[in-house]
Structure formats: C-alpha cells, structure tokens
A and B are shown apart, each in its own frame.
Chain A
Amino acid sequence: MAVIRDVMPAFELLQPSSIADAQKLLEQQGRDGWVLAGGMDSFDWLKDRIKKPKVVVDLSGIAELKGIRSTADNIEIGAMTTLTEVVEHPLIKEKYKLLADSAELVASPQIRNQGTIGGNVSQDARCWYYRAGWPCYRAGGNICYADTPEGRNREHAILHAERCVAVNPSDTAPALIALDAKFVIRTHKGERVIDAEDYFIGPDIDITSLHILQPGDLLTAIRIPSAWAGAHFYFEKVRDRNVWDFPLLNVASAMVVSGNNIERIRIAVNGAAARPLRLKAVEDSVRGKPANAATGEIAGKLAVQGAVPLQFNAYKIPLMRNLVKRAIGGVEEATWTS
C-alpha cells in the first residue's frame, strides 16, 4: 500500500444541502468533481495524493440521502445511511438479515459508523498496484502489474479478468444482488432505477470504473423489494484478518425453500471478479432440488466453471466452490467426491 501522507492536496469543498443541488454541482464539475460520502475510500486516495480532484462535493449535509424508509412493497435506504444504521435497523434485521449480516462484516465498528452503504457499493478497487498510483490499466495506463508471473495477485480475480485483474471489494454488494435490490441514480436526465447487478461493471466494459456512474451521476438510494423478505439467507465472508479486512471472497444467497426443496434462489459472490457475480447458472441448476450438501456440491462445481487462476490465487477456486456449497447446503462437514 502507498504511504499515507497527512496533508491532502488542496481542493475546493462544496457542501450541497439537497440532492438536486448536489447533482447540479457534480454535473457542472464533470470529471473534475469528486463525490465524498463517508470518506472511507476517498480519504485514502486524497491522503495518498494519488487522486487530486479540483472539487470535492461532500454529501454529508443532504438529509434526503440519509435514513431507512419503509413503503408498502419495499424499503428504501438512503445512499448516505451508515453501515451501522443498516446493521441496527429493526426492519432490516427482521426481514433482510442478509444485508445486516453483510454490512456487519464490513471492516471495523469505527469504519461502519462512518462508512455509508452508497460508499460501500461504489468504492474503488483495492489492488495495491492501482492504489499505489502506478499507471496500470485501471488508472488509464496500458499494463496490469498484478497479472504477471511475479505480480502479487493473491487477492485478485479468478473470473472475467480482462486485462485488469482487480476485484470488487464490497461486502454489501452481493447481498443486495441476492435481495434483488434496485439502485436509484440521479442523472442530468432525471431519475433512473436499475437492478443491483447492473450497477456494477467489469473491465471489459470500462476498465477504469467498477460501476456505471458517470461524472455528474449520483447514487441516491437503494430499494429492496419485499419479494425476498424473510427468506432463508446465507452470508459468509472469508478474509485474512477476521477483525478488519476486505473479503478474499464472500457469498450471499437468498432462498425460499418449500418442504426441503429450493423453490426460488438468488446467489451472488464477490471478490472473484471486478464486479460482484450473480450466479444465474447455479440458481437454475439448483431450483427444485433439495437444499442439502449434495445440491451444494453440484452448485459449487458449477460456480467455478471458467475460473482462471493467477500465479498466487488458485486457492480461490476451491474457496469459492465451498462457499457456494455452504450457501446452499448449509455449513456442514462434507467430503467432496472429486
């Protein structure tokens, strides 16, 4: 990691008090504008002096972006709602525990107090070559320093790598995909609502961004439909340090089980690619089957099809296989048949 310096580069700080003002300011600033949510990603960039925006638009003064509201058929979480608020909200704990579980495993309590759900899903890649300011593909250059025989790529992608092998580090993203959440985006053309899985993009589409937001766009809220409320949820995160770390891999699933058979399921993993991956093939293959270790084993094998390990991350393939298996069959000691 880069050395954290203590003085940020000078920038103009704008503090709008409404979504409309914020969107207008961001639109005016274009690529010169930097969106500041909780600051957990931004301050790394700024203090490392890797990113030097001319203008920072601080969203912390916008009340509309904060809080959790419930409606007849969904709940809406403001993008500036802190992860602690998400974890502790009674409705989320009761009906959408998957999201509470994933948010609770983000970093440390201090970071969850400050970090927001919008920031968590929109944060940048944590590849250290990129964060150190090296001119890699993601930084607009023409090389991936991690995808070389000598590159330190233990944490990097095993699926859908396309020149850049960085992964998306969000814990809440796969949970939101499993819950079929909708992201509300304010653009200069108005409001746009998209599926959670469509919010994230890989390097094949845009190698310099992990999400679809363009300069001037603003993620304002996340809506979770009631379709998966109270389903059978599973979230597991594997990391090097259990007290505070980004995921090596995580898995989130929402299942509706009828009898012992899987009636409906949505499952997603993160840390395997530059975007959280919804495992549609797995969902299709296990639907109607019993929710047990045998089905989980089939699902796990299917999940890692096409995986290409780098020099130091082959361990992620059996890890992902096992996480998917456990998400479907539960945490059981089971021997793989092959």
Chain B
Amino acid sequence: MDFLKWAVSPWGQRVPIHIAWFLIWVAVIVGFLFFIVHATYLRYFAKPKEFASSGSPLIAARIPEHVPRHSLTARLFHWIMAASMFTLLFTAFLPKVGMPFDWVTYHWIAGSILTVSILFHIIHASFFMDFWSIWPDKIDLRDAYRRTLRFLGKSAPPPNKFAKYPLENKLYHAAIMAAGLSAIVTGVFMMFRVRTILFPRNPYLFSDMTWGMMYVLHGLAGVGLIALIMVHVYFGLRPEKRAITKSMIFGWMSRDFYLKEHDPQRWPVESPTSSPASKGEAAEGLRDAG
C-alpha cells in the first residue's frame, strides 16, 4: 500500500507528486472512530468531573451573570476561518472522491481568505489578546498528570479547574495550528503553479523534489485537517460543550458554567462593579487548590 503517489520526472528522478487519495477516507474513518470511542467512554465509563476548590466565595460573588469569553473580533475571525476552512476542504476533496467540479478558483480564493485571517489572528492574539492563554502551562501539565493517575485508579489530588481554555482545547489549537500553517505555507507556494491574480506563474520556483514534498505536505495537512475539523465539530455539538459553542456565537458563557468548569484565579474576569480578581486573591486561590 503506497501512501504517496510517485512519478518519474523528465530528468529521470523519482519524485513524490501527492499523497494517495485513500488517505481521505482514512481521515474520515479516524474522525468517526474518535466520535464512537469518545461518546462510548463518556456514556458508560467516565466518572463525574472532580476539581479542587477554586478560591474564595468572595471572588465567585464578583462574577457577572454573563462571563465575556470571546470578543466580536475574535468571533468574526473564528467564523470567517471556519467558512474558508470548510470551503477549502470541500473544494479540495470532493473532486477526489467522485464529485468533479471547477474547484481551483474557489480553493485558492478561500485559501487566500484563510491566510489573511490567520495573519490577522496572529497579530490580534499577540498584541491585543492574552497570548499565553491558549498555550499549556505548568498547572495544565501537572493537572494532566493528576487526571491520568486518577483515571488509572491511583491516588492523586483533584486537578484545578481550567483556565480560559482546557488543556485539550490548547492541544487541539496546537494541532490545528501545525496542520493549518503547513497547509497555508505550502498552499501559498502552490499558488505559483496556477493562474491567479496574485502572482505570476512560476512552476520552476523549486526543484521537482521540493515541489513534490510540498504537495505531499499540503495533502497530509489537508487530510489531517479533515479529522481535526470533524473532531472540532463533534465537540461543538456535544451537550456538555454547548456553553462553549454558544460563547463562540454570542461572546459570553453563563456564570454557572464558568464557576463549574473554570478557575477565576486562572481566568479572571471583569465584573461590571469591580476589578478583576487581584493577584493576591489569585495566589490565595491557588494555595487552596493545593
């Protein structure tokens, strides 16, 4: 079974030209298997979540009814990215699974929109948002270890509640960032192979081998994104995650959900009548959490 499609270049060099298209179905099957395994685990085996205490009632009392989670700018970015990502996946893979149509123009336009939106997101997240909130920190890693021990039936203190994003969310972001950036960078270069209004064609920008590797990486990132997006949509539709999904539409989550899942010390929120939890209060909360 060949995972890559190879060809012989005019100069006699054996070069990869793209991934084998059956990998599309592999990605789809992996996505569905994840649904089945995860849903089965939650339905029959998962224990109720247990968290360490997350600080004083004083802090909790300051939490507003609607906890702001995503700004309008962040939500617009998310949905523009989602629309362009779906367009990219459908235009890339439907013709490969037996639904031919004129896909190239839609594909590079969607890719251009995604590229611009990602560039915007990098700048926005770096300078106007809490950049580190999406990256795993020491507490995430410590809590992941504790959760693993408890899952295995061993004794361990309960983990902290989550910061703004659970560790799984952060890892997912890292995975989709790796796949997305791979697809974007290779895709931008691949636009030199087709006629667009953006660059003059130059199919000899790289050697055949480099181009081949680029097509392979683009394809691997693409099929990886199929599975990742399937998983993302799955979580977005799960009942226990609905509050998070709604927050990507309306921008806020309820106070109850926030207090149930999130740690006000790790994710301080603005109250209409008071300042965010102070560092002193946060430190106190972390000590309480053990």
Contact = CB atoms under 8 A, between A and B. Distances in A.
Interface string B1-39: 000010111100001011000000000000000000000
Contacts of B100: 201, 205-206
B252 interface: no
Contacts of A201: 100
B104 A162 contact: yes
Given A161-B195, A162-B102, A142 B10 contact: no
A142 B17 contact: yes
Contacts of B194: 162-163
A144 interface: yes
Contacts of A142: 17-18, 193, 211-212, 215
A51 to B, nearest CB: 14
Given A148-B203, A163-B193, A143 B211 contact: yes
B44 interface: no
B201 interface: yes
A60 B106 CA distance: 43
B128 to A, nearest CB: 39
A141 interface: yes
Interface string B95-127: 100001111100000000000000000000000
Interface of A is mostly: loop
Contact of B17 (A135, A148, A163): A135
Interface in A120-150: 134-135, 139-145, 147-148
Nearest to B103: A204
Contacts of A145: 10
A144 B10 CA distance: 12
B5 A143 contact: no
B132 interface: no
B204 interface: yes
Contacts of B193: 142-143, 163
A141 B18 CA distance: 8
Q: Which of B8, B9, B10, B195 has the most CB of A within 10 A?
A: B10
A134 B7 CA distance: 8
A88 to B, nearest CB: 38
A141 B17 contact: yes
Interface residues of A, number: 18
Interface in A176-224: 201, 204-206
Nearest to A160: B102
Given A140-B5, A140-B17, A148-B204, A204 B104 contact: yes
A240 to B, nearest CB: 24
B102 A141 contact: no
A283 to B, nearest CB: 23
A140 B5 CA distance: 9
Given A135-B8, A204-B102, A205-B102, A147 B201 contact: yes
Given A135-B17, A163-B104, A141 B7 contact: yes
Contacts of A204: 102-104
B224 to A, nearest CB: 19
Contacts of B208: 143
B9 A135 contact: yes
Contacts of B212: 142
Contact of A144 (B5, B8, B103, B203): B203
A163 B212 CA distance: 16
Interface string B164-203: 0000000000000000000000000000011100000101
Nearest to A201: B100
A147 B103 CA distance: 19
Nearest to A205: B100
Nearest to B18: A142
Nearest to A208: B100
Nearest to A147: B201
A201 B203 CA distance: 24
A311 to B, nearest CB: 11
Contacts of A161: 195
A134 B11 CA distance: 10
Nearest to B9: A135
Contacts of B8: 135
Nearest to B200: A149
Nearest to A212: B100
B187 to A, nearest CB: 13
Contacts of B15: 135
Nearest to B16: A142
A143 B203 contact: yes
A39 B184 CA distance: 45
A173 B208 CA distance: 36
Q: Which of B7, B15, B193, B201 has the most CB of A within 10 A?
A: B7
B7 A135 contact: yes
Contacts of A135: 7-9, 15, 17
Contacts of B203: 143-144, 147-148
A111 B104 CA distance: 38
A54 B194 CA distance: 34
28 contacts: A134-B10, A135-B7, A135-B8, A135-B9, A135-B15, A140-B7, A140-B17, A142-B17, A142-B211, A143-B193, A143-B203, A143-B208, A143-B211, A144-B203, A145-B10, A148-B201, A148-B203, A148-B204, A162-B194, A163-B104, A163-B193, A163-B194, A163-B195, A204-B102, A204-B103, A205-B101, A205-B102, A206-B95
Interface of B: 5, 7-10, 15, 17-18, 95, 100-104, 193-195, 201, 203-204, 208, 211-212, 215
Given A135-B9, A135-B17, 8 more contacts: A135-B7, A140-B17, A141-B17, A148-B203, A148-B204, A163-B104, A201-B100, A205-B101
